[in-house]
């Protein structure tokens, strides 16, 4: 098959969606499929093992790692040249939805699969100026997703929720983990000492998260206050880091920054427990990684997380926002080594066979289903479609205005893009880098 991936977020960003996209690319190539990626331009976006088409973009000021792409006629040209059998829109929103509109307006008839990874409508509630837009964002997403041949999401719980919200043709993209990389044998004293940062007599708690408001990392400060013999290592980075450092000031905490690959696996495996606070996960990739490393997990009963954990058997779930319950669960894990070991051992057994090859094979079957069921037609937008398109265009315009007046506005963005899109090897804005897939 020839698969065009339109990625809302892509390299060099590090998060669960990019991690899943890179594993998707790797497995598709193993099957002999041809893949092309269209993504917002950022330095490092072309470090992928397939041709990559970078599109003009700007940074979203409240969350600089998120870049909003601006598709134009070149997108149509590259898609038509590639002639995909199917187009997979991964986590579409401000960029992906506009790409869909541009392609529809140009009469591109390829089957489309959308995959839903981010609760944008719920994330909005964590940003003061976006909070009133929550229901509006849910409506926009439903309208665009229902234009796809098939929709994917990453947990059975989210599949049910999206269906109840009026999303159509929703299928599950099974969770997956590299259980050879993320394994209990990665535990080592050097990583444990690094995470403890001199607090060697304490229990070691680890959380791995993007440091942004929607991840609720600051809430863990309340949990830590009730556990005076515990030390928390926070792995990850993001726009909220400075305020979180103030929030945790005076507590036994270590901001480690990003870890990836074997170092990240060692962090999970070397901890006494993994604690998590986010209530907006569609699945929870970091929870899956911790479980695969045999680390006892304490997480909220929210989003797609309960689809991974059987409470009391391979992890512990607390009611969202219930500090007393979260503290009680963590205390039980720390004070009872045998119980902690049983939880971790059960967690490892539960997920060790959830490999990427099997997961992506199901996605390939869904591609084939979308191709078989697709019927080319002249798209006639309804009033709802037109309103959703106008809304997403207005939203992007607002984001651009916000970026223009941001202190670090990228005034030299266009010249840098000319360089990026004039690859001397290809001359068409693509990269044919064939190195190894980056480890996340």
Instruction: Quote the pLDDT of residue 225.
Output: 96
Q: pLDDT at position 134, please? A: 87
Answer yes or no: same fold for 2-176+358-420 and 184-353. yes
pLDDT at 412: 38
**With contact defined as beta carbons under 8 Å apart, do 118 and 154 qualify?**
no
- Can you give the pTM of this predicted structure? 0.89
DSSP 382-418: -HHHHHHHHHHHHHHHHHHHHHHTSTT--TTHHHHHH
**Residue 439: per-residue pLDDT:** 33
Residues in Cβ contact with 395 at an 8 Å cutoff, skipping those fewer than 6 apart = 94
**How high is the pLDDT of residue 68?**
96
pLDDT of residue 408: 63
- The phi and psi torsions of 338 (rounded to 5 degrees) equal -65, -45
Strands of 316-318's sheet, edge to edge? 253-257, 230-235, 203-208, 273-275, 297-300, 316-318
Q: Is 195 helix (H, G, I), strand (E, B) or coil?
A: helix
Q: Hey, what's the torsion of the CAs at 309, 312, 315, 319, to 10 degrees?
A: 80
Q: Thinking of the domain 2-176+358-420, which architecture would CATH place it in?
A: 3-Layer(aba) Sandwich (3.40)
How far is CA 378 from each of CA 73, 105, 234, 375, rounded to the nearest angstrom?
19, 10, 51, 10
Residue count of the chain, please give it: 440
* pLDDT tens sequence for the chain (440 residues): 999 999 999 999 888 899 999 999 999 999 999 999 999 999 999 899 999 999 999 998 878 888 999 999 899 999 999 999 999 999 999 999 999 999 999 999 999 999 999 988 886 776 676 777 889 999 999 999 999 999 999 999 999 999 999 999 999 999 999 999 999 999 999 999 999 998 888 899 999 999 998 899 999 999 999 999 999 999 999 999 999 999 999 999 999 999 999 999 999 999 999 999 999 999 999 999 999 999 999 999 999 999 999 999 999 999 999 999 999 999 999 999 999 999 999 999 999 999 999 999 999 999 999 999 998 776 688 999 999 999 999 999 999 998 888 776 554 343 333 333 333 334 343 443 333 333 32
- Helical (H) or strand (E) element with 337: helix 337-351
Q: Is 155 helix (H, G, I), strand (E, B) or coil?
A: coil
CATH topology of domain 184-353: Rossmann fold (3.40.50)
Domain boundaries, the chain: 2-176+358-420, 184-353
- State the pLDDT at residue 60: 87
Q: Phi then psi for 167, rounded to 5 degrees?
A: -75, 140
């Amino acid at each position: 098959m020839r698969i065009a991936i339109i990625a809302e977020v892509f390299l060099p960003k590090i998060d669960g969606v990019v991690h899943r996209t890179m594993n998707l690319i790797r497995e598709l190539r193993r099957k002999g499929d041809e893949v092309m990626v269209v993504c917002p331009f950022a330095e490092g976006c072309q470090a992928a093992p397939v041709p990559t088409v970078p599109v003009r973009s700007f940074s979203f000021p409240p969350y600089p790692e998120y870049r909003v792409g601006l598709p134009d006629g070149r997108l149509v040209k590259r898609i038509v040249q590639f002639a995909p059998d199917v187009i997979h829109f991964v986590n579409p929103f401000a960029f992906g939805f506009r790409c869909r509109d541009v392609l529809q307006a140009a009469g591109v008839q390829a089957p489309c699969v959308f995959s839903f990874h981010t609760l944008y409508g719920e994330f909005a509630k964590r940003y003061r100026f976006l909070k009133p837009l929550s229901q509006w964002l849910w409506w926009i997403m439903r309208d665009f997703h229902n234009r796809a041949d098939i929709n994917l999401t990453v947990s059975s719980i989210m599949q049910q929720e999206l269906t109840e919200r009026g999303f159509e043709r929703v299928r599950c993209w099974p969770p997956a983990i590299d259980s050879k990389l993320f394994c209990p044998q990665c535990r080592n004293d050097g990583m444990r000492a690094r995470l403890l940062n001199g607090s060697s007599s304490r229990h070691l708690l680890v959380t791995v998260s993007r440091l942004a408001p929607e991840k609720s990392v600051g809430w863990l400060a309340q949990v830590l206050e009730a556990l005076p013999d515990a030390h928390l290592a926070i792995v990850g980075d993001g726009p909220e880091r400075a305020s979180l450092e103030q929030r945790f000031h005076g507590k036994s905490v270590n901001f480690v920054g990003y870890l990836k690959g074997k170092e990240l696996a060692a962090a999970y495996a070397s901890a006494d427990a993994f604690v998590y606070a986010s209530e907006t996960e569609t699945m929870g990739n970091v929870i899956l990684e911790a479980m695969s490393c045999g680390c006892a997990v304490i997480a909220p009963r929210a989003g797609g997380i309960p689809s991974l954990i059987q409470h009391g058997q391979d992890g512990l779930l607390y009611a969202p926002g219930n500090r007393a319950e979260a503290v009680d669960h963590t205390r039980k894990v720390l004070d009872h080594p045998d119980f902690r070991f049983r939880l971790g051992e059960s967690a490892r057994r539960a997920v060790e066979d959830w490999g990427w090859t099997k997961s992506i094979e199901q996605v390939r079957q869904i591609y084939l289903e979308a191709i078989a069921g697709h019927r080319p037609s002249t798209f006639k937008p309804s009033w709802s479609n037109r309103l959703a398109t106008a809304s997403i265009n207005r939203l992007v315009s607002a984001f651009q205005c916000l970026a223009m007046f941001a202190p670090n506005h990228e005034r030299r963005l266009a010249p840098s893009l000319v360089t990026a899109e004039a690859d001397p090897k290809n001359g068409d804005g693509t990269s044919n880098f064939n190195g190894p897939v980056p480890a996340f």
